[in-house]
């Protein structure tokens, strides 16, 4: 994931442009009656003492303070990028793992600066609440800034050598995280309108229905034949109906290992996709024929509105074996990593075959905003599915693993999925989720709805001797809700497991609603302050409509979904 020198140059230019804007911006007149003392404003932040140092000797309203914090966040994000880059420029003495961790940090720091710049361009001109959809977008990006900071921190903390790098980089990372937390808190307090929770929802539910009228005339007869025949595999892919609900496809290429398609590798097909498409342009569809593809697939931010369609679970398989045990960071161990907005995957198995002894080994890492996975399978052991950041939706997918195998800090709904715990190493227990929310103002969490939670074939004979839990709190404000799901007898009666002692037990939010099955009885569940058995009213907060604002973006994918309960 390392940036090239050209990327550094482009980043430098963008910094100069952004900071010319900052330099020309003046704080509005603070003589209005809405002036609030900094200590009052800071009371709504996670660390009021630190917040007061950010706003020291300032007077203003919530918007004035928010702009001050934004400016400082931008400056620090830029400084941190160059600090990390300076170590990578002279990295010959660094260990392989440290280089990998620093490359992750540099990549994430560039992303953070981009998010902050885009939000500030609007916030600098707005002294009132934003439209709800825009406010939700910006809150999502600011939440991701903190997630990126945490990801960088974890990679560097795992380094067992190169103490000089840690001693120099970690303090800056810690201070910047506090600053970005203040920025998020002030943004939420000032620019985000009160959210109205929907309690009635539109009817949803249809199969993918691609509008092929816009397919290129130059597509080969062989490609069109493969495309047409795909409707016989996995989910229904092609219908002749040209209704307004059809999915618009701008182009299609075929990946086939036998050379009969347009490409023989998935990465080459992705490289052919146009850069920075919009939703209106339609999806660039990559049809991946049946086979086992041993590739590490990376879908960068510029490959927006890309759709990968396979022939079905266990027919189209993308596989790799990178792991922490083999000196990769968790972040960079993924077989498939995607950050492109509007990404869709259908009918594909994603695997990491490193095995249970190699520790963290990711099959898919998604930091792609408004990404959707439909009828896909994710296979691994520890850390199988990394729902890293932003907004994500999974429908009718299979997820296999052992330890923390659905983890990350996205706002994510997994709907109608099959969740299979596998046989772990001797002495290990299984934990299905490890949600990574680090700040109470992040709009993130894991919502599992109408799932089937069962033992995989290798665990089934050992259910009586291996403990399996719904989750454990990876971070301070971990948030996971399981609702309307079937829980087989593999789940321990306590339901949830601590991470370490009493860490996060009062600040987490774990909830269950209307579940069924042998392990759904909550009588013997944990008694932590943060654990709840909730009502339909509370569960409504974690539906596709309310948690993801999914009615605004999932319909264009053609993937069936349920808006509410």
Give the residue numbers marked as catalytic.
404
Contacts 24+ apart (CB under 8 A), 37-46: 38/65, 41/65, 41/186, 41/189, 42/182, 44/185, 44/189, 45/181, 45/182, 45/185, 45/186, 46/181, 46/185, 46/439, 46/440, 46/441
* Residue 455 zone, left/alpha/beta (φ > 0; ψ -120 to 50; rest): beta
Chain-centroid distance, C-alpha 12: 27
**Residue in 440, 307, 312 with CA at minimum distance from that of residue 370:** 307
Q: How many CA atoms lie within 13 A of 165 on its CB side?
A: 30
Task: Check: CB of residue 142 under 8 Å from CB of residue 182.
Answer: no
Contacts of 235 (CB under 8 A, 6+ apart): 207, 208, 312, 346, 347, 374, 375
- State both tokens at 7: 């990327």
Q: What is the spatial distance between Cα 107 and Cα 334, in angstroms, rounded to a whole number? A: 15
Q: What is the dihedral of CA 220, 221, 227, 229, to 10 degrees?
A: -160
What separation in angstroms does the CA of 172 have from each of 168, 184, 264, 380, 473? 7, 18, 45, 35, 26
Q: Report the DSSP beta bridge partners of residue 60.
A: 36
Q: What is the spatial distance between Cα 482 and Cα 67, in angstroms, rounded to a whole number? A: 38
Q: What is the spatial distance between Cα 120 and Cα 114, in angstroms, rounded to a whole number? A: 10
Task: Check: CB of residue 132 under 8 Å from CB of residue 195.
Answer: yes
Express the helix, strand and coil content of the chain in percent, nearest 5 each. 35, 20, 45
**Residue in 434, 496, 490, 500 with CA at minimum distance from that of residue 467:** 490
Task: Specify the residue for token string 């033992």.
Answer: 455
- State both tokens at 328: 């990769």
């Amino acid at each position: 994931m390392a940036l090239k020198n050209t990327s550094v140059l482009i980043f430098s230019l963008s910094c100069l442009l952004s900071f010319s804007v900052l330099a020309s911006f003046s704080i509005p007149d603070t003589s209005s009656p809405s002036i609030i003392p900094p200590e009052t404003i800071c009371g709504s932040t996670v660390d009021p003492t630190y917040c007061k140092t950010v706003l020291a000797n300032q007077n203003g309203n919530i918007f004035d303070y928010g702009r001050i914090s934004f400016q400082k966040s931008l400056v620090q994000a830029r400084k941190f990028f160059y600090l990390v880059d300076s170590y990578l420029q002279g990295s010959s003495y660094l260990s392989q793992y440290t280089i990998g961790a620093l490359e992750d940090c540099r990549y994430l720091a560039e992303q953070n600066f981009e998010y902050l710049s885009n939000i500030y361009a609007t916030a600098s001109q707005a002294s009132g609440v934003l439209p709800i959809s825009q406010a939700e977008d910006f809150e999502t990006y600011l939440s991701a800034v903190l997630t990126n900071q945490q990801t960088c921190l974890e990679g560097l903390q795992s380094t067992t050598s190169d103490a000089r790098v840690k001693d120099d980089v970690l303090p800056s990372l810690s201070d910047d995280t506090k600053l970005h937390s203040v920025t998020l808190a002030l943004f939420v307090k000032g620019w985000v309108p009160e959210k109205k929770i929907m309690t009635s929802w539109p009817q949803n539910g249809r199969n993918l229905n691609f509008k092929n009228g816009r397919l290129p005339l130059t597509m080969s007869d062989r490609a069109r034949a493969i495309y047409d025949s795909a409707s016989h595999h996995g989910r229904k892919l092609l219908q002749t109906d040209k209704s307004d609900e059809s999915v618009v496809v701008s182009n299609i290429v075929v990946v086939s290992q036998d050379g009969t398609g347009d490409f023989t590798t998935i990465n080459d097909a992705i490289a052919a996709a146009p850069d920075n498409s919009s939703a209106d342009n339609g999806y660039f569809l990559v049809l991946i024929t049946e086979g086992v593809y041993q590739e590490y697939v990376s879908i960068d931010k510029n490959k927006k509105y890309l759709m990968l369609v396979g022939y079905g679970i266990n027919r189209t398989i993308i596989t790799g074996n990178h792991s922490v045990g083999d000196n990769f960071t968790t972040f960079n161990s993924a077989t498939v990593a995607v950050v492109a907005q509007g990404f869709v995957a259908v009918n594909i198995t994603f695997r990491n075959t490193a095995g249970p002894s190699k520790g963290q080994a990711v099959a898919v890492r998604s930091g792609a905003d408004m990404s959707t996975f439909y009828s896909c399978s994710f296979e691994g052991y520890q850390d199988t599915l990394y729902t890293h950041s932003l907004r994500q939706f999974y429908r009718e997918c299979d997820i296999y693993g052992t330890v923390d195998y659905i983890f990350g800090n996205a706002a994510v709904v997994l709907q109608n999925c099959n969740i299979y715990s596998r046989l772990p190493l001797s002495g290990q227990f299984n934990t299905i989720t490890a949600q990574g929310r680090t700040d109470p103002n992040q709009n993130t969490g894991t919502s599992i709805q109408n799932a089937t939670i069962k033992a995989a074939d290798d665990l089934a004979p050992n259910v009586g001797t291996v403990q399996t839990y719904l989750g454990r709190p990876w971070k301070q404000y971990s948030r996971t809700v399981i609702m309307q799901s079937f829980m087989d007898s593999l789940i321990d009666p306590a339901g949830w497991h601590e991470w370490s002692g009493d860490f996060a037990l009062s600040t987490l939010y774990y909830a269950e609603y209307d579940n069924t099955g042998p392990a759904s009885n909550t009588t013997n569940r944990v008694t932590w302050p943060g654990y709840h058995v909730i009502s339909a009213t509370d569960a409504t907060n974690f539906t596709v409509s309310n948690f993801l604002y999914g009615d605004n973006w999932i319909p264009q994918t053609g993937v069936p979904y349920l808006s509410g309960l």
